[in-house]
Structure formats: C-alpha cells, structure tokens
Amino acid sequence: MKRLSNKILALLAAALFVTCLSAQQPVKALLITGQNNHNWAVSHVVIKQILENSGLFAVDFAVSPAKGGDMSGFVLDFKPYKLVIVDYNGDAWPEETNRRFLEFVNGGGGVIIYHAADNSFTNWEEFNRICALGGWGGRNEKSGPWVYWKDGQLVRDTSPGNGGSHGRQHEYVLNGRSQDHPVMKGLPAKWRHAQDELYDRMRGPGDIDALLCTAYSDPATNGSGREEPLVFTVRYGEGRIFHTMLGHAGPTVDDNPAMQCTGFQVLLLRGAEWAATGKVTQNVPADFPTETQVSMRKNYRP
C-alpha cells in the first residue's frame, strides 16, 4: 500500500510538472542579424543560447544578405513574435521591413538593442528614437546631444563633436541606477563586468526612460572621463525597448568573455523578459558578480 501511494504521488507530481510547463510557453523571439562590423557569427549564436537555455524564450533568426547584396527580399514578418533582438549594423532594410518594424514596436512589441546595433541607420530618425543613443556612422551634434551621468543626473550636452567611441577593452564596474525597476530589482548596486568595450560619447535623441546602469569611462583606458549610460530602457508608442551597450563578441563562442559574463547574461535575460511582457519573474542568481569579483558562465547556462 505504501509503495502504491508513493507511486501515485510521483505520478501526480509529474502531471503537475507537465501542466506547469505547458502553462509557461516560451516567448517567441526574432533575432535580426547578418551584417555587422562586429562578430555577428558568434553573437547571434550566443544570444540564442542564453535566451533558450533559460527556458523562457524560443528564438528564430532573420539573417540578411551579405553587405552590398540585394536587400529587396529581406522583408520580415514580425506578427508571430513578442520580442525582436537587433544584432545588426549594416545596409538599410527595405522600406516595407522598416514600416512593419515600427508598427510592431508602436503596437506594444518588445525590442532589445544589442551592442553595435545602435551604430546602425544614422539617417533613420525613428530607429534612432528607439535606440535613444547611438554612435559612429557620421553621428555628430546634428544627431542629438551627448548624454552622460553627472552629479546625480543625466546631462544633455549639445557641444559639437563626433558621436561614439571607446577605449581599450577591460573589466569595469557597473553602477546600478533605478534599482526599483523590474530589471534591476534585487541586483547589487555595483558589480564587476568581464573584459568588454565601454561605449562613450554616444549621441542621439536621448529620450531614456529608465537609466539602469552606468560605468566610468576612465581616461587611463582612453575613455571619456565621464560616467556613461550603458544599459537603459526606452518607450516608443506602446513598445518597451531594452538597450544594452554591453557584450562585445569575442573571436569564438568559447573565447568570448564579455558575453560569458554572468552579469551580462542575467541582465540580457531580465531585460528580454521585461521588454516582452512588462515584468520580470526571474530570481537573482547566487552566481551574480560582486563589485570586486567577475563571474562567468562559459556554457551560457544558468
């Protein structure tokens, strides 16, 4: 009788587990890639692994033609998706894809702007509003102000000068802002990020909604000498945008410190869930980095 009861309990537990899984269908996400001055061949594979290894997302790829190729057929359907990840910096998309993308965001779709994606489309005004800040591509004071953190507030600096630079790659400390935001809630106020680029002197419309993380761009590493906004949210229509300048892709999937950083992966996952659903259900993991210690997930798994 006892053995039968244990078997029944085990069957009930298994049934409950299956029910819970079926109730939590992964969020469908589309990752746009195919052109970039960065190593997109590594980054898009790794982003998919990070998101899908969490069990929260199912990721499809939209891979563009190579630079200089015929883009006319690169017309994307965003309707099946709740989240779009932009890992792209290259030739202009067809106007129909642009229109559908803006319709997706305006209608409440979630977007991740990842690293060099904010270098894209200098002359596409609405994309630059979605990014809030961007760099390179001929950006200057006509693109909008430099935006940086000083004396407890964001400064909008309209001085002339180019937009976008970074010093040499190095470890640096992220300073949390907006600690009550769902993406940031429970995370330490300071944590050490693995070796990465630190974007600075970024320009654009600058309409940041919630500033999540900044870091000091040290002149000793050829930085700006300013506290730079690196992770933030933007609102565009009904859409939620999570913009992270972190995560410079390494030469291979296995040699990829910035993306193997636990802090990068946790922020990406929390930002993705927030962008797609408006909330974050994930707990803060025990292996999250501290102010003095980098933490790595080299297999991109929690």
Place of tokens 């990014």: 131
Name the DSSP letter for residue 189. S
Which distant-in-sequence residues (6+ apart) come within 8 Å of 122 by Cβ? Answer: 128, 134, 137, 138, 139, 143
Query: Is 72 in contact with 91 (CB distance < 8 Å)?
Result: no
The model's pLDDT over 254-264, given as tens digits with 9 standing for 90+, comes to 999 999 999 99
Task: Give me the pLDDT at residue 23, please.
Answer: 53
Task: Read off the pTM.
Answer: 0.92
> What pLDDT, on the 0 to 100 scale, is given for residue 224?
98
In the chain, which residues have pLDDT < 70?
1-23
pLDDT of residue 1: 46
Chain centroid, CA 128 distance in Å: 16
At residue 24, the pLDDT reads: 75
**Residue 30 contacts residue 84 (beta carbons within 8 Å):** yes
The number of CA neighbours under 13 Å toward the Cβ of 200 is 21
Query: What is the helix (H) or strand (E) element at residue 258, kind and residue range?
Result: helix 257-260
